Amino acid sequence: MNLEALLRSFTVATLATCLAGVLGVGAAALLTRRRSALGDLFDALLTAPMVLPPTVLGYALLRLLSRDGAFGSAWEQGVGAPLLFSPAAAVLAAAIAALPLVLRAARAAIDGVDPRLAAAAATLGATPARVLWSVVLPLARPGIVAGLTLGFARALGEFGITLMIAGNLPGATQTAALAIYDAVQAGRDAEAAGMATLLAALATALLLVATGLGRRRRDGF
Amino acid sequence: MAFSGALEVAIRVDGAVGQRPRLEVELAFERGVTAIVGPSGAGKSTLLSAIAGLVPLSAGHIRLDGAALDDVALGVHTAPHRRGVGLVFQSLALFPHLSVQDNVAYGIADRRRGRDEARDWLRRVRAEHLAERRVPTLSGGEAQRVALARALAARPRVLLLDEPFSALDRPLRAALVADLGGLLRGLDIPTLIVTHELADVAGLAARVVGLVAGGVEADGVGPGAATAMTTPTETR
């Protein structure tokens, strides 16, 4: 059992879920109840990682994050080290994979909040930001937490994008999913089976949690 | 028409393309209670939502004490949170994740005094004993009193009540009408009460406006106006 890779997977998935949570919930709050062509395009772009082949996303990110790309060169100037093939790239890859799940769940949860409650808050003098913070997000919380749980599970199992932009460097960027791939390639079947079983069990448990949270949301307060 | 008052509403709210406007009225409201009656689809709730700034106007203006809250021709629209217009929804729209006291304190500008003021308003609607309760545990009558306290605690310049008695049975309704009368007499603001039951507001409203199909069908002023108004504005 490659415990180091397993621990790295948890760290990467946790950080990625935080990043996807901020971006996904923020985007959901902006997009919900404001239908526009630009908003639909933004939504489609953020949801694309769910349907695009990881190699396509990985290739696009390779170009964007390389030293020649705008984001990659700015990162290297700011941090002093390249972004590609670093632990930060693994976090970014997992966050991009998790983002559509968080966004979709957050949008559904926010859409599900009775608009009359937001209107009532506004007539009581609350600014749109306060309405969002004190009424909409608390009421959407079970759905948002379900989305974050799904996102965490997705980040934990992320493979393709991570391989493309973070590589498979033992001790640096190798996550559990990549370690399983390595173990299979090297014929270490027992190690691969152990880690695969553990990841499958974790993913199933997380999906059960997400389902339970979704049911709580439907049942209301 | 002669057109002046504390609250002036001269608006058109269009419906779907090719259909008649949902609402097209010119009304001026002085301080005191006005009942708005009419059958379903008459535009009563649309009128309240428009005054609260919750539905976009197609044309016209809404002025409060001479200042424009909305003026379509001038491109003026005051956001709901800046209008000082309190609205008690037919559904009440109490926040289910907050306690009764926190619901009432929500609109109180001075947050440091919010708790004490919320208690005070709950006492005035005879609901102080509910302060720590969660909203989903309230009965219809209790929720109605809390919604009223919440709207009043925000110190609105205009108060709008959408079917405030509809969910209550007759004894509860009578008790709330009596309490509401006492509270509203102490307020010197334009107050509009949408109701199906003219009998409920007979002792409260000095004026009754009847809406039918988005327009003003009847407008009666003075004591007894409510009881004098008859069908088609009264439906039940």
Listed in sequence order, the residues at least 6 apart from A174 whose beta carbon sits closer than 8 Å to its beta carbon are A2, A5, A8, A168, A182
Q: Could you tell me the strand order of the sheet in which B207-212 lies?
A: B85-88, B158-162, B190-195, B32-37, B207-212, B215-221
The predicted pLDDT at position A14 comes to 95
pLDDT digits (tens, 9 = 90+) for A158-198: 999 999 999 999 999 999 999 999 999 999 999 999 999 99
Q: How confident is residue B229, by pLDDT bands cut at 50, 70 and 90?
A: low
Q: Tell if the CB–CB gap between B154 and A125 is shorter than 8 Å.
A: yes
CB-closest option in B89, B109, B136 to A120: B89
Which residues, listed in sequence order, are joined to residue B92 by a DSSP beta bridge?
A: none
- Identify the closest residue of chain B to A126 by CA–CA distance: B81
This complex has an ipTM of 0.89
Q: Tell if the CB–CB gap between B107 and A127 is shorter than 8 Å.
A: no
Inter-residue contact A16 to A121 (CB < 8 Å): no
Interface test with A, best of B48, B64, B92, B95 (most A CBs within 10 A): B95
Question: CA A108 from chain center: how many Å?
Answer: 16
The predicted pLDDT at position A24 comes to 96
- Identify the closest residue of chain B to A115 by CA–CA distance: B93
Q: Tell if the CB–CB gap between A117 and B93 is shorter than 8 Å.
A: yes
CB-closest option in B80, B97, B151 to A138: B97
Residue A61 pLDDT > 80, yes or no? Answer: yes
Q: How confident is residue A1, by pLDDT bands cut at 50, 70 and 90?
A: confident
Q: Tell if the CB–CB gap between B95 and A117 is shorter than 8 Å.
A: yes
Fold adopted by A3-219? MetI-like fold (1.10.3720)
> Is the minimum CB–CB distance between A127 and chain B shorter than 8 Å?
yes
A126 CB neighbours in chain B (<8 A) are 81, 106-107
Cα–Cα dist B41/B66, whole Å: 30
Beta-sheet pairing, B76-77 with B59-64: unpaired
The predicted pLDDT at position A218 comes to 53
Q: List the one residue out of B36, B33, B9, B25 whose CA is nearest residue B194.
A: B36
Which ranges of chain B would DSSP assign to H, the alpha helix? Answer: 44-51, 80-83, 100-105, 114-124, 140-153, 170-185, 198-201, 225-228
Q: How far is A197 from chain B (nearest CA, A)?
A: 40
Q: Which of A83-97, B4-18, B95-109, B151-165 has the least mean pLDDT?
A: B4-18
pLDDT digits (tens, 9 = 90+) for B86-145: 999 999 999 999 999 999 999 998 878 888 999 999 999 889 999 999 999 999 889 999
Which residues, listed in sequence order, are joined to residue B88 by a DSSP beta bridge?
A: B161
SS3 state of residue A156: helix
Q: Could you tell me the strand order of the sheet in which B67-71 lies?
A: B23-29, B7-13, B59-64, B67-71, B76-77
Q: Tell if the CB–CB gap between A123 and B150 is shorter than 8 Å.
A: no
Beta-strand ranges (E) seen in chain B are: 7-13, 23-29, 32-37, 59-64, 67-71, 76-77, 85-88, 158-162, 190-195, 207-212, 215-221
Angle, helix A54-65 to helix A87-111, in steps of 10 degrees? 120
Domain ranges of chain A: 3-219
For the purposes of burial, counting CB atoms within 10 Å of the CB of A129, is it exposed (0-12), middle (13-18) or buried (19 or more)? exposed
Q: Tell if the CB–CB gap between B80 and A119 is shorter than 8 Å.
A: yes
pLDDT digits (tens, 9 = 90+) for A127-167: 999 999 999 999 999 999 999 999 999 999 999 999 999 99
A123 CB neighbours in chain B (<8 A) are 52, 54, 80-81, 83, 85-87, 151, 154, 156
Cis peptide before B232 (omega within 30 of 0): yes
Residue B180 pLDDT > 50, yes or no? Answer: yes
Q: How confident is residue A12, by pLDDT bands cut at 50, 70 and 90?
A: very high
- Identify the closest residue of chain A to B108 by CA–CA distance: A124
Listed in sequence order, the residues at least 6 apart from B174 whose beta carbon sits closer than 8 Å to its beta carbon are none
The predicted pLDDT at position B23 comes to 94
- If you average pLDDT over residues A72-99, what whole number do you get? 93
**Mean pLDDT computed over every residue of chain B:** 88
Cα–Cα dist A159/A97, whole Å: 10
Number of residues that make up chain B: 236
How far apart, in Å, are the Cα atoms of A29 and each of A100, A127, A162? 14, 14, 28
The predicted pLDDT at position B200 comes to 79
> Is the minimum CB–CB distance between A165 and chain B shorter than 8 Å?
no
> Would you report the helix, strand and coil content of chain A in percent, each value rounded to 5?
80, 0, 20
> Is the minimum CB–CB distance between A216 and chain B shorter than 8 Å?
no
Q: How far is B50 from chain A (nearest CA, A)?
A: 12
How far apart, in Å, are the Cα atoms of A12 and each of A17, A153, A201, B65, B73? 8, 11, 18, 59, 55
Using the Cα atoms of residue B47, residue B52, residue B57 and residue B59 in order, give the sign of their dihedral: positive
- Angle (CA) A60-A72-A86 rounded to 5° is 90
Phi, psi of B164 (to 5 degrees): -70, -15
Cα–Cα dist B80/B69, whole Å: 9
Q: Tell if the CB–CB gap between A116 and B91 is shorter than 8 Å.
A: yes
- Identify the closest residue of chain A to B153 by CA–CA distance: A124
